Amino acid sequence: MMGVPGSYDASVYDHFDDRDQEGLWFVKRYAHVPGITLEACNACLGARLPGPDEADGLVLAGSYNSVHDDTAWQQVVRAWLPVMRAHRLPILGICGSHQLIAHLEGAAVTRYEDGPFAGTFPVSLTEAGKTSPLMQDIADQDCFHYANSEHVVDIPTGSTLLARSSKVPVAVLDYGDHCYTTQFHPEATEETLGTIWRYKAPELMQNYHAHDKGDRLVENFLELVRDLN
């Protein structure tokens, strides 16, 4: 998902083969993971979300919409998520979904006062992060891609902090029952994420580089889903 049509400049993605179809990017990028079949749907465009018997795991993408926007699609997702979690489906929530889930659990989400946190930056693993299956083969200070104007301020009750970054005190969370969320974008490349700033802050595009461990984290999650099923 990207957001409510008109809430972002879709033309920044026109040079990509699949333009702003983020779900299609993901399907193509991770089709190589054995034993996994990927399907995409866009909640922001009103697509019907799967029921608990129609999916083995969920990857929930980021969004241009703030959790404070309370759009129609966000209201639908907020009602749907507790049902899916009650069935203990593995979930990987990314960026805006990280914020949405934390907000549902009562955590504060606030805006950066000094501008976006954008670029490829290292994470510091907690002791829990160093042994988490989500972070397998990811070392302390490995890098990930960020593009955030807002962030989760505190750790939601009942969750475990797995990683933090310099300006992101809550970078990765484990909610139990194989539900994980990340403030950074593990599914993105330096190109797909950096292009966000093409017109509104092109200088930020220089903050991204290719040396990240995002693919390893996503593959860890997909392999976990496969092995649980």
The per-residue pLDDT for range 205-225, each reduced to its tens digit, is: 999 999 999 999 999 999 999
**Mean of the per-residue pLDDT values of the chain:** 97
Mean pLDDT across 79-96 = 98
Q: Buried (b) or exposed (e) across 90-124, using 16+ Cβ within 10 A?
A: bbbbbbbbbbbbbbeeebebeeeeeebbbbbbebe
pLDDT tens string 24-53? 999 999 999 999 999 999 999 999 999 999
Tens of pLDDT, residue by residue over 96-154, are 999 999 999 999 999 999 999 999 999 999 999 999 999 999 999 999 999 999 999 99
**pLDDT recorded at residue 1:** 77
Is the pTM above the cut of 0.85?
yes
**Residue ranges of domains in the chain, CATH in brackets:** 10-228 (3.40.50.880)
